Structure 1
Amino acid sequence: MDEFIKIRESLLPISWLYGIGVSIRNFLFNIGILKSRSFDIPIISVGNITVGGTGKTPHVEYLIRLLKDNFNIAVLSRGYKRKSKEFILADDDTEMSIIGDEPYQMKQKFPNITVAVDKDRCHGIEQICGNNSTKNTDVILLDDAYQHRYVKAGINILLVDYHRMLSSDKLLPAGRLRESEDGKSRADMVIITKCPSDLKPMEFRVITKAMDLYPYQQLFFTTLIYKDLMPIYEGESKSIESISEDNILLLTGIASPQQILEDMKPYMKNINQMTYQDHHQFTDKDVEDLNNRYSALPSPKIIITTEKDATRIKGLEGLSEEVKRNIYTLPIEVKFMLEQKDTFNENIIGYVRKNSRNSILAKRKDENESRNSNNSGNRTRTISFRNN
């Protein structure tokens, strides 16, 4: 644990000032001066307190797989680093630059779900619920919205990287915390992500004690599973075991490439890295460097990149034919540990089913009938996981 944490001590005074600003904002929400808005549709928020690298996208994709066969799903994201600014409802032809790499990835993998982007999540929810093509949405998944408190989600899922525990990190810019550790109290579910698959029982207990959650909060643990390599341009899939003797060029532009590197070491002997910042937009110079780096490697050789990076690589011009024939993505999925999968699934499905629009209409009918017969006055209702 905590081996990826690097604190920049010289920036701690700035972090202190930053923390004051964040605390004031949260206080204004807590006392109701800044308003959180509820919606008559199940909303599940998936996010983190740290900047990047907690495995947010694979966890959102897990929820999509869990719900897509029985519910109409919409994923609403900010669309980080997209070239557009307004609300965008993605279709099969929407370009990555218009909605951002992560929403684009989800739309490509799950073409039958709704994917939309809007910096103003309240406005985005209104657009989804009011659009003729998406008004039958059963549940909205908010991608990276833990700090977007203007929406009151029914379930708040907080992701915490096993390698960057909150208690050991510091606020921006000295560390990578967006807000203090106290912010975890808003979560209904906390998931410790990227756990080693061989985590010992004692470590589970140590982490559970360190998280110090409230009784209303549930704690889960997940680990990453790596699937067969998939070609970006041409060719057939490859198992990880089949390239154990190859020279690997690992190409990444994500927040935490260390995890993939550590996980791949048992399977791959010769790993060379090309590492860029998260959401990096590849340039002509990057393409030239990639062509040269790959050409210089001895055979057998292969390029491996992430699914998110692949969305930005696929449209590049100037890649050599050799690179195109040998560049693959490494798909990842999450797996729940400690036999927690069924509990997590049942809670999510139960919340969505109980708060679906059909259920809400039935509840309102019963409430109206009761109100008319008892003259009990007006009531307010908020869809909440904690109250269900």
Structure 2
Amino acid sequence: MFDNKYWQLIMSPFSLLYKWVMQFRNHLYNIEYKAIFQFETTVISVGNLSVGGTGKTPMVEYIIRFLLKNKLENKITTLSRGYGRNTKGFRMANEQDDANTLGDEPFQIYRKFRPAINVAVGEDRVLAIPSILYEQPENEVIILDDAFQHRSVKPNLSIVLSDYQHLFYKDYVLPSGRLRESRSGVSRADALVITKCPDNLSAEEMGNIRESASIYMRDKPIYFSGISYGNCYSPYMERPVKEKIAVVTGIAHPEPLLEFLKSKYKICKHFRFQDHHYLSSNEIQEIALFAQENQVDVLTTEKDWVKLINHSNFEASLKNHLFYVPMMVQFLDEEKSFQQLIEETLKEH
């Protein structure tokens, strides 16, 4: 196995080529050779520079909750590509949909917030937004999930996330690193949020991160957030979770979740799958058999939960063993400033 530095060295020519391609693409948008569309409704974009989990869905849910508190019920729509779904084109979520037709994250949001908001998926945001406005003429806010590189739509507020464990200014462009474009691309954003920070992050370290990130963000605001985990939950059982558990994850970075669970339970096994993975019948049977033979409960993320409950084997094998762990964004400082940024965007439009 190559050391990370050797891998970066070997892949550097390919990264340089990829970087040039992305810079040229962005240049075409900057000089307006490629069309950029702006819409009458307020558009808030949540995205990142890197591949992998930076916490976009929890941030989208945070914004939804804040907007609902501001009396925007039935006037909000989330729009994402719907990664991993078995459908194509524009689709407005309805009661017949599940994780297969919408994608795991859009269905998670739909299941949690319906009917207070609308959820839509569509590969082409430029075509999807007019479709939303046609079907929902009272709509006032559209939240774009994972759209920072989707330059054809100009958002009114662009929020970029960077994982504390993989800070963008220490990373490299694909395939040497995780960045989808060069570090300087972050300057297009209106705000940067450093996500998944430890609860005890010191003011000194925040200052150091701000100083390094400000080279690219200039005088734009930089915020820090962590993850808050709720009590494990199942709508099918009222009993508490057993002391011994197995963990199932299909997310990019499960380490923070595992650390939280280790503080409360004894983890006997971790079934780890790649991000957005849909478990097969054989995989579900393996997990269920382990739970039965070892008399443990199975804990998973909410994103994985919404895929499992629609599986044909769920009722027979996992229903009486499976719990999910709710997670929410928790700002470490300047939360009111972040909320004011959203409020000002709504007022200006």
TM-score tier after normalising by the smaller chain length: over 0.9
Name the residue aligned to 1:347: 341
Name the residue aligned to 1:280: 277
Using the alignment, how far apart are the partners of 1:286 and 1:264 within structure 2?
Answer: 22
Report how far residue 321 of structure 1 moved: 4.8
Residue from 137, 162, 169 that aligns with 2:171: 169
Q: Choose 1 or 2 for highest CA Rg.
A: 1
CA gap 1:271/1:165 in 2 versus in 1, 3 angstroms: farther
Name the residue aligned to 1:364: none
AA aligned to 2:56 is K
Using the alignment, how far apart are the partners of 2:302 and 2:34 within structure 1?
Answer: 37
The answer as to whether partners of 1:121 and 1:151 remain within 8 angstroms in 2 is: yes
Using the alignment, how far apart are the partners of 1:103 and 1:169 within structure 2?
Answer: 28
CA gap 1:316/1:149 in 2 versus in 1, 3 angstroms: same
Name the residue aligned to 2:110: 107
Name the residue aligned to 1:255: 252
Is structure 2 residue 30 aligned with structure 1 residue 30? yes
Name the residue aligned to 1:52: 52
Q: Compare 25-34 and 258-267 and name the one that shifted more.
A: 258-267
Q: What residue ranges of structure 1 are gaps of 5+ in the alignment?
A: 356-388
Report how far residue 12 of structure 1 moved: 2.7
- The SS at the match of 2:319 is helix
Is structure 2 residue 116 aligned with structure 1 residue 121? no
Q: Compare 20-29 and 7-16 and name the one that shifted more.
A: 7-16
- The SS at the match of 1:208 is helix
Name the residue aligned to 1:315: 310
Name the residue aligned to 1:384: none
CA gap 1:214/1:320 in 2 versus in 1, 3 angstroms: closer
RMSD in angstroms over aligned alpha carbons? Answer: 1.8
The two structures have a TM-score, normalised by structure 1, of: 0.83
Q: What residue ranges of structure 2 are gaps of 5+ in the alignment?
A: none
CA gap 1:13/1:295 in 2 versus in 1, 3 angstroms: farther
Residue from 291, 299, 302 that aligns with 1:304: 299
Using the alignment, how far apart are the partners of 2:19 and 2:98 within structure 1?
Answer: 37
Report how far residue 63 of structure 1 moved: 0.5
Residue from 182, 201, 204 that aligns with 2:203: 201
CA gap 1:129/1:322 in 2 versus in 1, 3 angstroms: closer
Number of matched residues?
A: 340
Report how far residue 271 of structure 1 moved: 4.6
CA gap 1:321/1:285 in 2 versus in 1, 3 angstroms: closer
- The SS at the match of 1:11 is helix
CA gap 1:6/1:256 in 2 versus in 1, 3 angstroms: farther
Name the residue aligned to 1:91: 94
CA gap 1:178/1:271 in 2 versus in 1, 3 angstroms: farther
Name the residue aligned to 1:220: 223
Using the alignment, how far apart are the partners of 1:88 and 1:320 within structure 2?
Answer: 28
AA aligned to 2:188 is R
Is structure 2 residue 140 aligned with structure 1 residue 143? no
The answer as to whether partners of 1:54 and 1:193 remain within 8 angstroms in 2 is: yes
Report how far residue 85 of structure 1 moved: 1.1
Q: Compare 53-62 and 13-22 and name the one that shifted more.
A: 13-22
The answer as to whether partners of 1:146 and 1:158 remain within 8 angstroms in 2 is: yes
The answer as to whether partners of 1:188 and 1:216 remain within 8 angstroms in 2 is: no
CA gap 1:65/1:208 in 2 versus in 1, 3 angstroms: same
- The SS at the match of 1:135 is coil
The answer as to whether partners of 2:308 and 2:314 remain within 8 angstroms in 1 is: no
Report how far residue 320 of structure 1 moved: 7.2
The answer as to whether partners of 1:92 and 1:111 remain within 8 angstroms in 2 is: no
Identity of aligned residues (%): 35
The answer as to whether partners of 2:228 and 2:329 remain within 8 angstroms in 1 is: yes
The answer as to whether partners of 2:98 and 2:310 remain within 8 angstroms in 1 is: no
CA offsets per residue over residues 184-219 of structure 1, 9 Å max, x none? 101101000000001111111111111124444111
Name the residue aligned to 1:381: none
Using the alignment, how far apart are the partners of 1:129 and 1:119 within structure 2?
Answer: 17
Q: Compare 168-177 and 207-216 and name the one that shifted more.
A: 207-216
CA gap 1:305/1:136 in 2 versus in 1, 3 angstroms: same
Using the alignment, how far apart are the partners of 1:294 and 1:6 within structure 2?
Answer: 36
AA aligned to 1:277 is Q
Name the residue aligned to 1:371: none
